[in-house]
Amino acid sequence: MFRHVVQWVVWKDLLTEFRSRETLSSMLFFALIVIFIFSFSFSMNQQAAQELIAGIIWVAFAFTGMIGLGKSFSAELQNDCLEYLQGSPAAKGAIYAGKVAANFMFMLIVEIILFPLFVIFFNLDVIEQISLLLLIFFLATFGLSAVGTLFSALTVQIRAREVMLPILLLPLVVPVMIAAVEATKGALNGDPLPMYQQWLELLAIFNVVFTVVSFWLFDFIIDA
């Protein structure tokens, strides 16, 4: 039962996205603009890029993620679908899990499309580190979507929700951002893994703690 609900929620979100392409296209376009603005505002040379690039990548990913997360539950407002999710006998945790999975996929897809652009625009050398970078993206994106899905549901039914999602979410995901930036920096510099392994561990701890906590708290957000 639980597994079915998760699957159907993911299926529904993916199918909706496949038909409308609203979320992915707005995320991609926004991220592209962010990359350009960054490169203008820092007028980067090769050396500066090496220092700053990890931070730029993650700021771009996090802000892009906010767009996807914001849409995740605001799409449920049309025709009061959120009300049906609340009133259905399905476990609310299953709905949370399905939403996290869908948001995680959207964010990861955007990141995988964007990363080659960073490589091209900032002339990065990534071939040897690619699997480690993917692991970092995977862990950090999961952390962002686990907490972000909870806060997407929390902000969707309040006033000024577009502003409140980043205001509430960004301070809470500071550990994810720090860890992701430091680990990405290490991987891009070609440092040996033990030098930044602690950041991957931090990400793993954060993910475990906040997946469990959000899974439990989601019930109180979605249900009276």
Partner 1 sequence: MPAIRVQDLSHSYGHYQVLRQVTLEISQGTCYTLLGANGSGKTTLLRILATLLRPTSGRIEILGRDGVTDKTLIRRSLLFLAHGSHLYEELNALENLQFALALRGLFPTPRQLKLVLDRVGIGAFASMKVRHYSAGMKKRLSFAKAMLAAPDILLLDEPFTALDHSGVELVQDYIREVLNRNGTILMSTHDPEKARVVSQQVGLLRQGTLHPWTWRQKDAS
Partner 2 sequence: MISKVVRRLRRFQGWFGGLAAGCLVAGLYLGLLASPPDYYQGEVARIMYIHVPLAHTALLAYTVVFAGSLWYLWKRDPLIDNVCHAAAGLSALFTALALVTGMIWAKPTWNTWWTWDARLTSFALLFFILLGYLMLRTFIDHPEREARYAAVLAIVGFLDLPIIHFSVEWWRTLHQPQSISLRGVSISSGLLIPLVIMSIGMSLLFAYMLILRTQLLYLSRLLETKRGRLLSQFHFSKADP
- How many chain residues touch partner 2 (CB under 8 A)? 30
Token couple for 21: 């392409």
Interacting partner of 39 out of partner 1, partner 2, none (Cβ under 5 to 8 A depending on kind)? none
Residue showing tokens 């002339």: 123
Positions that interact with partner 1 (CB under 8 A): 1, 4-5, 8, 11-12, 15-16, 19-20, 78-81, 83-90, 223-224
End-to-end Cα distance, the chain: 22
Nearer to partner 1, 9 or 183 (CB): 9
Q: Which residues contact 208 (CB under 8 A, 6 or more apart)?
A: none
Q: How far is the CB of 221 from partner 1 (least distance, A)?
A: 14
Interacting partner of 87 out of partner 2, partner 1, none (Cβ under 5 to 8 A depending on kind)? partner 1
- Assess 213 for contact with partner 2 (CB under 8 A): yes
Q: What per-residue string of b and e applies to 94-107 under the rule 16 or more CB within 10 Å gives b?
A: bbbbbbbbbbbbbb
Q: How far is the CB of 46 from partner 1 (least distance, A)?
A: 45
Beta-carbon count within 10 A of 18 CB: 9
Q: What per-residue string of b and e applies to 27-53 under the rule 16 or more CB within 10 Å gives b?
A: bbebbeebbeebbeeeebeeeebbebb
* Contact pattern for partner 2 over residues 144 through 183, marking x by CB under 8 A: ---x--x---x--xxxx---x--xx--xx-xx--xx--x-
Which is nearest to 73 in space by CA: 159, 150, 164?
A: 150
Q: How far is the CB of 179 from partner 1 (least distance, A)?
A: 36
Please tell me what DSSP assigns to residue 173. T
- Assess 210 for contact with partner 2 (CB under 8 A): yes
Q: Which residues contact partner 2 (rule: CB under 8 A)?
A: 147, 150, 154, 157-160, 164, 167-168, 171-172, 174-175, 178-179, 182, 198-199, 202, 205-206, 209-210, 213-214, 217, 220-221, 224
